[in-house]
Amino acid sequence: MSTLDTDVLLTRSPEAEADSQFIRRWSPRAMSGEAVTLGEIEQLVEAARWAPSCFNSQPWRFIYALRDTPQWQPMFDLIMDMNQAWAKDAGVLVAIVARTTFEHNDAPAPTYGFDTGSAWMSFALQAQSMGLVTHAMWGVEHDQAPAVLNLGEVYKLQAMVAVGHPGDKQDLPQPLQDREVPSPRKAFSELAFAGQLPAEPQS
Ligand SMILES: Cc1cc2nc3c(=O)[nH]c(=O)nc-3n(C[C@H](O)[C@H](O)[C@H](O)COP(=O)(O)O)c2cc1C
């Protein structure tokens, strides 16, 4: 078992056997500011593009901005202050956007979020296998994103993702240092049910 596995098990308690990559993945904010290369982005997208999707429609798109390139600042400016405080040390920012209609008939594609979410998870796990960390952000200026990212009418921002090399927790603002641990999860008994959901508790 690696050191990372051991650290993760301080705050995470597996309830059944599953591949450790799932339990080890988490969303650190501490990143080193080291570059992420275009080749590495290609590897992350390679993993993501094999995700399943309704009618194999592949609604996911990845809009990236490597640090120290002209694309960085406009995408960084889309991120809300609370996330900029740590995302500034990412190696690349990736806006994950989804096509909301099917390309073959322009009809609404009701599963675009489900499909794109599965691609994001492949992306994140591939990053982890390469020693990179990922942290998704909803905290972005969604009203400005369509113009900055050229989304047009049919593409919708799902999340911005900071990808980077692991950094030092001590370099984060103090309140974020306290939150820099893998989070727990609901119990299996709260998540999986035979046949039907249980009745919601009456308030
Ligand atoms: C779609 C999405 C949006 C998120 N938005 C933010 C965000 O704006 N800021 C932030 O600090 N974390 C954000 N997160 C990270 C979640 O808080 C985190 O994934 C969750 O607490 C579970 O922790 P883990 O990823 O470390 O296992 C987001 C995650 C997802 C998947």
pLDDT tens per residue, range 135-168: 999 999 999 999 999 999 999 999 999 999 999 9
Total tally of structural domains belonging to the chain: 1
DSSP letter, residue 66: E
In a domain, 83, yes or no: yes
- To the nearest whole percent, how much of the chain has pLDDT over 90? 93
Instruction: Report the relative pairing of strands 155-164 and 133-137 from DSSP bridges.
Output: antiparallel
Q: How far is the CA of 130 from the centre of ligand 1 (A)?
A: 20
How many A from CA of 109 to the centre of ligand 1?
A: 25
Cα(142)–Cα(15) distance, rounded to whole angstroms?
A: 37
Q: Partners of 134 in the beta sheet? A: 163
Atom of ligand 1 nearest to the CA of 135: 15
Q: Which domain holds residue 136?
A: 45-168
pLDDT in tens, 54-68: 999 999 999 999 999
Using the atom order of ligand 1, give the atom closest to the CA of residue 27.
26
Question: Is the residue at 163 inside a domain?
Answer: yes
The answer to whether residue 17 is domain-embedded is: no
Question: Tokens in use for 21?
Answer: 């990559």
For residue 51, pLDDT beyond 70:
yes
Residue 4 lies in a domain: no
CATH (domain of 92): 3.40.109.10
Tell me if 79 CB under 6 Å of ligand 1. no
pTM of the model: 0.96
Half-sphere exposure for 95 (CA within 13 Å, toward CB): 27
Q: Is residue 119 part of a domain?
A: yes
25 pLDDT more than 70: yes
**DSSP H helices in the chain:** 3-8, 20-24, 38-49, 72-77, 81-87, 112-129, 145-149, 174-178
DSSP state of 140: B
55 lines ligand 1 (CB under 6 A): no
178 within a domain of the structure (yes/no):
no
**The tokens 């809009």 sit on which residue?**
63
pLDDT in tens, 94-104: 999 999 999 99
Share of the chain above pLDDT 70, in %: 97
- Position 127 in a domain: yes
Ligand 1 and 164: CB distance under 6 A: no
User: Is 192 within a domain?
Assistant: no
Of 96, 121, 135, 156, the one to substitute when testing ligand 1's pocket (max ligand atoms within 8 A of C-beta) is 135
Quote the longest CA-to-CA distance of the chain.
54
- The answer to whether the CB of 172 falls within 8 A of the CB of 30 is yes
**Helix count (H) and strand count (E) of the chain?**
8, 4
State whether the beta carbon of 66 lies less than 6 angstroms from ligand 1.
Answer: no
Residue 2: pLDDT band by 50, 70, 90 thresholds?
A: very low
Q: What's the pLDDT band for 6 if we cut at 50, 70, 90? A: low
